[in-house]
């Protein structure tokens, strides 16, 4: 079985640009995650967490580049040829970046934004089925139905983050990347995030969570990779996941 995430001595750098010297933001990162597994990335400010999360999302236009080692996500190589494979893999990756809350819906209401995302991933669904899926997504993100006709600027920042989560869950991601999803937000966001992680893993998806928040990380059973100034410095095994109950 191919690993969902495979990193071997990966280094990532920001290229030189006018007025800014290039620099290596991350080096020597190795990791492997199979379907259903997860990892927490922790570390201080500037340790390289968001840089790694962004590269692994395969979103185009990242300012950073892989400058050493090798890596792949959902079978797509992180560097070199493989644009087609990266595009296919990207469609199966959910990525909730840090601080991008304002732009999540464009000029649409929550209902329209979620329905659009559901249709993108399931072109054959009829309107009632799309509506049902949207209602499920709201439930999964612990949002009330009353947010459906709101625009992003009419939501609290915690609600916006949960809408961002629902948008990423709409495609049933095989790999879900959450970058500091609870930082600075109201405590209602935490259970929505923790439940989403557990649900994605239970469905066979893989999760990368960037977080330093003890309450969130402690509520999960995931291993923790700690970075310090661009270098991995510690790895803590996760707690064993509870066995599934055996039905008689």
Q: Is 43 in the site for ligand ATP (CB under 6 A)?
A: yes
Q: Tell me: does residue 211 bind ligand ATP (CB under 6 A).
A: no
Interaction between residue 45 and ligand ATP (CB under 6 A): yes
Residues 169-188 that bind ligand ATP (CB under 6 A): none
Residue 25 within binding range of ligand ATP, rule CB under 6 A: yes
Q: Does 151 bind ligand ATP (CB under 6 A)?
A: no
Give 14 or 151: the residue with its C-beta nearer to ligand ATP.
14
Q: Alpha-carbon distance 77 to 244, whole Å?
A: 34
Our finding on whether 71 is near ligand ATP (CB under 6 A) is no
Q: For residue 21, state whether it binds ligand ATP (rule: CB under 6 A).
A: no
Residue 50 sits in the site that holds ligand ATP (CB under 6 A): yes
Chain positions contacting ligand ATP, by CB under 6 A: 14, 25, 43, 45-51, 63
């Amino acid at each position: 079985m191919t690993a969902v995430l495979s990193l071997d001595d990966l280094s990532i750098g920001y290229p030189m640009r006018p007025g800014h010297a290039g620099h290596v933001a991350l080096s020597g990162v190795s990791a492997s995650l199979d379907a259903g597994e997860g990892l927490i990335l922790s570390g201080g400010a500037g340790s390289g967490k968001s840089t790694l999360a962004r590269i692994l999302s395969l979103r185009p236009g990242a300012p950073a580049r892989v400058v050493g080692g090798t890596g792949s996500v959902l079978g797509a190589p992180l560097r070199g040829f493989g644009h087609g494979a990266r595009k296919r893999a990207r469609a199966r990756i959910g990525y909730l970046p840090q601080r991008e809350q304002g732009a999540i819906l464009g000029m649409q209401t929550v209902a329209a934004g979620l329905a659009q995302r559901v249709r993108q991933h399931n072109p054959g669904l009829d309107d009632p089925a799309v509506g049902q899926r949207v209602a499920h997504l709201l439930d999964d993100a612990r949002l009330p139905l009353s947010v459906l006709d709101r625009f992003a600027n009419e939501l609290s920042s915690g609600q916006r983050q949960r809408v961002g989560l629902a948008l990423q869950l709409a495609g049933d991601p095989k790999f879900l990347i959450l970058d500091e999803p609870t930082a600075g937000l109201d405590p209602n966001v935490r259970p929505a995030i923790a439940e989403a992680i557990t649900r994605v893993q239970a469905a066979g998806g893989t999760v990368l969570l960037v977080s330093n928040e003890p309450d969130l990380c402690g509520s999960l059973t995931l291993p923790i990779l700690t970075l310090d100034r661009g270098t991995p410095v510690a790895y803590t095994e996760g707690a064993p996941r509870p066995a599934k109950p055996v039905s008689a």
